[in-house]
Chain A
Amino acid sequence: MTRTLIVFLSSACLTAWAGDESSIRFVNGDHLTGTPLSLDTKGILWDSSLIEQPVPFLKEKVLDVTLPAHTPDLKATDHEAVVTLNKGGIVRGQLSEVTDDAVVIDTWYAGQLRFNRVMVKSVNIEPSDMVLYRGPNSINGWQVTPQPDAWRYANFSFHSTGGGAIGRDDLLTDECSVAFDTEWNSDSASYKVILFSDTVDNRNPKSGYEFSMQRGGMVLRNLKTQAFIGSTHSAEIAQSNRARIEIKASRLTGKIAFFINNKIVDMWTDADLAGSQLGKGLQFSTSRLVPLRISGIRVAEWEGTIDQPLPPRARMRRIQPDLGEEGPEASEADREEIKEGRMKLANGDSLDGKVKSIQNGKVTIETVLGDVTLPVARLRTITLPTADLEEAIARNDDVRAWMSDGGFMVFEFIGADQETITGKSQNFGTATFRRDAFQKIEFNIYDFDLDDLRKQAGW
């Protein structure tokens, strides 16, 4: 086999990376920080300040490498297309073309990526101008209380190291969505999320909305009135040690919706929320010495609509007379789901048609009533031409490369230089990526015995 040498950094440019330490984890649970100097088909040459000479680690012993990655400025674009592959990736970029054979996106890290249509499962659209925050990429701008070391930042995550809160002010808008990944190093979740906090430098703010997670339960309180607003329970959280949480809240309507792993769990309305004077802060707080990790935070404007029906249990509660009828929510929650095959629009409408062309950020859709042209950013889903989906072939040298935006790709390494990594996949052919697009590269991805180790947060 040809031995391909991938040089991440020449020794001459080591100093340029001194402040951006990488880390490497191994299949036996060992781990080190340092700098990757090169990667070839045998292994990774690693420079650690703890070890006398750079060490060539065997690739079959490497679990993953975490790298300093670049986070692009989303405001330069009006939308992000989220391409979900049938196998091997979720990739973000600007939608450029949709044909019977391909889905094409423009990316900042690899130019134009052309995905084989039969490998693409779905394409969703997220308007970029609605994203208020994506991270964390550092702890700058966040306030930790009561002790500065109660939370630390590492590898695009916040880790709690004791009881305390981490918060950021001037983040939330009148109608917003807050989503994040959470992982707890305990048999039960125990933490709080506070929206619309008025004092993020205080772990016990006097106003805001507190979502208190305990084991599989969640209790929502208005901190100003101390009023109980609602509660729910999730077996998914009770039986796991991780979840993606999303909260959508509107100060205009008082509506608060709670999602676990992208599924709506419940929704409430607090009359006190509507029109109230609240802060703009977001806080995460732990009260116990149980380590918690928060990552993948995404705060965005919310258009006030929910496109998922409430689960039956939650809906039944709403129509019980003694709990009071909540008309607007009930009717919206009971809204008929948009039929499969129709493209969803930002305002909740839908459209049946086929993408004819995309130019200058505008998409022309061929419908039975004629062509409709609108900004891509106004779409929420793209209906793809019908195809029998296929899966990319798995290869021994495949790696899973994670980007700072939460997306990932599986591809076979075929080469690299100081600035780029080149990979090959049936999904997109051969592509050359900016090296700083990746925050983590996983190795030995088909050794499923390593899955448990891989999930560990590095507590």
Chain B
Amino acid sequence: MRTYNKIIVWTALLSAASVAHASDELELRGTSKEKLSGTVTGIEESGVIVLASPLSDQPLRLKPNTVARVAFGSEEEVKSQTTMLVELTNGDRLPVEVKSYSTKAGMLIFSPAIGDQILPTDVLTTLELGIPERKLVFEGPGNTAEWDNARQSGFDKVFVEAKDWTINGRLEASRQVEMPKNFVLRFQLEWEQRQQPNIKIYFASPDVISVTKADRYFLQFNSAGFEIKRERTKGGGFASILISARRPEVFAGREVAIEIHVNRVTKRIELYINGELEAWGLDPMENAPEGSGIILGVNGMEGSTHTIRNLTIHELDNTRIRHRAEDRGSPDKDSLISRDEDRWAGELREIRRNGKDMDFIFQTALRREPLEIPREDVSTLFFRQQADKAQDVTTKYRLHLRGEGMLSVRSCRISDKTISVNHPLLGELNLPKHTISRIEPSENPENKAEKSE
């Protein structure tokens, strides 16, 4: 096929994919993992969930307590605009940017999900700061000239648009990147209708394409689902680290966002699918592979295409892990932990603007004058817990925010683009629908596992 014709075909394919609608998915509490999809048009006070389904001319009214999870499809991306994480007394966690704080007025925050909001002091448990933007070390796939290919002619099968590759048939391409010790490999994959995806992506690989075995990891995704394996030079064969039986057919629009978290210190590998933790496992070998290579292997039939988009490698951020390991100290006082690991007990009086930055005014018993600590020096704040204040925090649903965060709510109503909730601590809130990734009943036991992530 001439190049001109190829471009037309691929452009048509890409256009067709871009109009695919991301539907909401309902996981039901039936006897055999039942599932429905469509658009959730309402969650009523009674607990009835109303689904507009393409399968019927009539809306489907799901009885209360029959839905284990509602996963919202969205084409709108939620850009991270926050560097702090606040935890409330009921365990809810919310990515925020603090605008101001005083003991009397509470904390004025901005959240992509709930906008500007005042959080009363007595609902606060923790404020974690310096949740950084993850350091980007590679973005691609990009220019094919920067990749190696055993048969250079193989790149004739690659159509590059921006940094994305659409690959016709088979391809195996490799390159080195400045892969950090702990990293996040992320990309989107799309495949053609009536075809099964078939990819194998190596990472932490010592060098370029090699027929001999190497110490490295690889993800394979095909008609059987996902599996991450550890290839090893000693001991023979491969060790399976994690498996997910989610087959390609479950992804509406034949597209999936794949994210792999690799911690080579703890040897823990996590697989996220469409932003949700799907499975994790441990590398059984004594040492994690040390390589910095990546190999893209696509094993499609001639005439069928795979598209790889937004391939990025970020540094894996351990700040959150460190924050959660901090000892909160005495619960009847506020505690401030600095980046130098200094610990102060006392009272947070104020958070106030200081030009473009922000200062934390913290009164300790050790000084008459309060400390004025710049934001960049603060790691974690633990707020005094009021044991005498009994609050009814019984909730009905748990809302998982897209990206990070979670809110437990008493009631939940859905309109076209907004989800209105009654939060036990914050009252009535209106959230843009695209900021919510999923809703689960609060009693869902899976939620316990989620909190410990």
Question: Is B247 touching A449 in the complex (CB atoms < 8 A)?
Answer: no
The contact sample of 18 A-B pairs, CB cut-off 8 A, is A28-B54, A29-B37, A29-B249, A29-B250, A30-B37, A31-B35, A32-B28, A33-B30, A49-B63, A50-B34, A51-B60, A52-B62, A56-B57, A58-B57, A184-B224, A185-B225, A289-B243, A458-B32
In the complex, which of the residues B48, B57, B193 contacts A449, with contact meaning CB atoms closer than 8 Å? B193
Q: How large is the interface on B (under 10, 10 to 19, 20 to 34, 35 or more residues)?
A: 35 or more
The reply to whether the CB of A359 lies closer than 8 angstroms to some CB of chain B is no
Nearest chain-B residue to A456 (Cβ)?
Answer: B249
Write out, one digit per residue, whether chain B residues 404-420 have a CB within 8 A of any chain A CB (1) or not (0).
00000000000000000
Say yes or no: is B223 at the interface (Cβ < 8 Å to chain A). Answer: yes
B220 at the interface (CB under 8 A from A): yes
Q: Which of A32, A43, A289, A290 contacts B30 (CB 8 A)?
A: A32
Is A56 a contact partner of B56 (Cβ separation < 8 A)? yes
0/1 interface trace, chain A 367-384, chain B, CB 8 Å (1 if under): 000000000000000000
A291 at the interface (CB under 8 A from B): yes
A50-B66, A55-B60, A186-B224 known; A28 vs B194 contact (CB < 8 Å): no
Which B residue sits closest to A159, measured CB to CB? B32
Determine the chain A residues whose CB is within 8 A of the CB of B62 once the complex forms: 50-52
Give the distance to chain B from A269, nearest Cβ to Cβ, in Å: 32
Q: Using a CB-CB cutoff of 8 Å, which residues 38-64 of chain B contact chain A?
A: 48, 53-58, 60-63
Tell me whether A452 and B55 are in contact (CB under 8 A): no
A26 contacts chain B at the CB level, 8 A cutoff: yes
Q: Is B324 located at the chain interface by the 8 A CB criterion?
A: no
> Is B310 located at the chain interface by the 8 A CB criterion?
no
Is A259 interfacial (CB-CB < 8 Å)? no
Give A79 to B30 CA distance when docked, in angstroms: 41
A residues touching B (Cβ–Cβ < 8 Å)? 21, 23, 26, 28-33, 43, 48-53, 55-58, 61-62, 154, 184-187, 241, 289-291, 448-449, 452-453, 456, 458-459
Closest to A450 in B: B194
Q: Which residues on the B side are within 8 Å of A185 (C-beta)?
A: 224-225, 245, 247
Query: CA of A291 to CA of B57 in the docked complex: distance in angstroms?
Result: 35
The listed residue (B34, B56, B194, B250) touching A57 by CB distance below 8 A is: B56
CA distance A31 to B250 in the complex (A): 12
A residues near B224, Cβ cutoff 8 Å: 184-187, 241
Which of B29, B54, B57, B223 has a CB less than 8 Å from the CB of A241?
B223
A21: which B residues are within 8 A, CB to CB?
A: 31
* Residue ID in chain A nearest B196 by CB atoms: A452
Query: How many Cβ-Cβ contacts under 8 Å join chain A to chain B?
Result: 100
Given contacts A28-B37, A241-B223, A449-B194, contact A55 B56 (CB under 8 A): yes
B-side contacts of A61, CB under 8 Å: 54-56
B222 at the interface (CB under 8 A from A): yes
Q: Which residues of A contact B53 (CB under 8 A)?
A: 30
Q: For residue B222, which residue of chain A has the nearest CB?
A: A187
B32 touches A33 (CB 8 A): yes
- Identify which of residues 1-48 in chain B touch chain A, using a CB-to-CB cut-off of 8 Å: 28-32, 34-37, 48
CA distance A57 to B28 in the complex (A): 18
Which residues from B are CB-within-8-Å of A453? 249
B34 touching A32, Cβ below 8 Å = yes
CB distance from A449 to the nearest CB of B (A): 6
Q: How far is the CA of A38 from the CA of B68 in the complex (A)?
A: 28
CB distance from A195 to the nearest CB of B (A): 27
A186: chain B residues at CB < 8 Å are: 224-225, 227, 243, 245
Across the interface, do A56 and B58 meet the contact criterion of CB distance under 8 Å?
yes
Tell whether, in the assembled complex, residue A452 and residue B29 are in contact, meaning their CB atoms are under 8 Å apart: no
A31 and B196 contacting across the interface, CB-CB below 8 Å: no
Q: In the complex, how many angstroms separate the beta carbon of B42 from the nearest chain A beta carbon? A: 13
On whether the beta carbons of A26 and B55 are closer than 8 Å, the reply is: yes
Contact residue among B32, B35, B58 (Cβ-Cβ distance under 8 Å from A29): B35
Residues 215 to 244 of chain B near chain A (Cβ within 8 Å): 220, 222-225, 227, 243
CB-CB nearest in chain B for A46: B56
Q: Determine chain B's interface SS by DSSP, over half rule.
A: loop
Chain B residue with the shortest CB-CB distance to A42 = B57
CB of B252 closer than 8 Å to a CB of A:
yes
Specify which chain A residues have a CB less than 8 angstroms from the CB of B194 in the assembled complex: 448-449, 452
Shortest CB-to-CB span from B245 to chain A, Å, is 5
User: Which residue of chain B has the shortest Cβ distance to A451 in the bound complex?
Assistant: B194
Least distance between B282 CB and chain A CB atoms (Å): 15
- Assembled-state Cα–Cα distance A187/B61 (Å): 38
* B55 touching A30, Cβ below 8 Å: yes
User: In the complex, are the beta carbons of B247 and A32 less than 8 A apart?
Assistant: no
Which residues in B have their C-beta under 8 angstroms from that of A30? Answer: 35-37, 53, 55
Closest CB in chain B relative to A430 CB, distance in Å? 31
The reply to whether A31 and B193 contact each other, CB–CB distance below 8 Å, is no
Closest B residue by C-beta to A62: B55
Residues of the A chain whose Cβ atoms lie less than 8 Å from the Cβ of B66: 49-51
B251 to chain A: closest residue by CB: A29
Chain B neighbourhood of A43, CB < 8 A: 56
Say whether B34 contacts A33, CB under 8 Å.
Answer: yes
A28-B54, A186-B243, A186-B245 known; 6 new pairs, CB 8 Å cut-off, are: A32-B30, A49-B30, A51-B61, A52-B63, A187-B227, A290-B245
In the complex, what distance in Å separates the CA atom of A23 from the CA atom of B193?
A: 26
Chain B residue nearest to A154 in the complex (CB): B32
> Shortest beta-carbon distance, B30 to chain A, in Å?
5
- Closest Cβ–Cβ distance, residue B248 to chain A (whole Å): 9
Given A23-B32, A50-B30, A154-B32, A28 and B252 contact (CB-CB distance below 8 Å): yes
Q: Are A459 and B247 in contact (CB under 8 A)?
A: yes
Which residue of chain A has its CB nearest to the CB of B64? Answer: A52
Determine which of B31, B37, B48, B247 lies in contact with A52 in the assembled complex, contact meaning CB atoms within 8 Å. Answer: B48
Q: Are A51 and B55 in contact (CB under 8 A)?
A: no
A residues in contact with B35, CB < 8 Å:
29-31
Instruction: Return the contact of B243 from the options A58, A154, A290 (Cβ within 8 A).
Output: A290
Q: By the criterion CB–CB under 8 Å, are A33 and B63 in contact?
A: no
Q: How far is the CB of B271 from chain A (nearest CB, A)?
A: 15
Assembled-state Cα–Cα distance A28/B23 (Å): 11
Most chain B CB within a 10 A radius of its CB, from A30, A32, A33? A30
- Report A-chain residues with C-beta under 8 Å of the C-beta of B220: 187
* A28 near B55: Cβ-Cβ < 8 Å: yes
A187 to B199, CA, bound (A): 12
Q: Which residues of chain B come closer than 8 Å to A28, judged between CB atoms?
A: 37, 54-55, 252
Cα A56 to Cα B60 in complex, Å, equals 10
- Identify the interface centre among A49, A187, A449: most chain B CB within 10 Å of its CB: A187
Q: Which residue of A lies closest to B195 (CB)?
A: A452
* Beta-carbon contacts under 8 Å, B45-96 to A: 48, 53-58, 60-63, 66
A21's nearest neighbour on chain B, judged by CB, is B31
B245-A459 in contact (CB<8A) = yes
Q: A30-B37, A241-B223 are in contact. Are A58 and B249 (CB under 8 A)?
A: no
Q: CA of A26 to CA of B36 in the docked complex: distance in angstroms?
A: 9
Closest-by-CB residue of B relative to A188 is B224
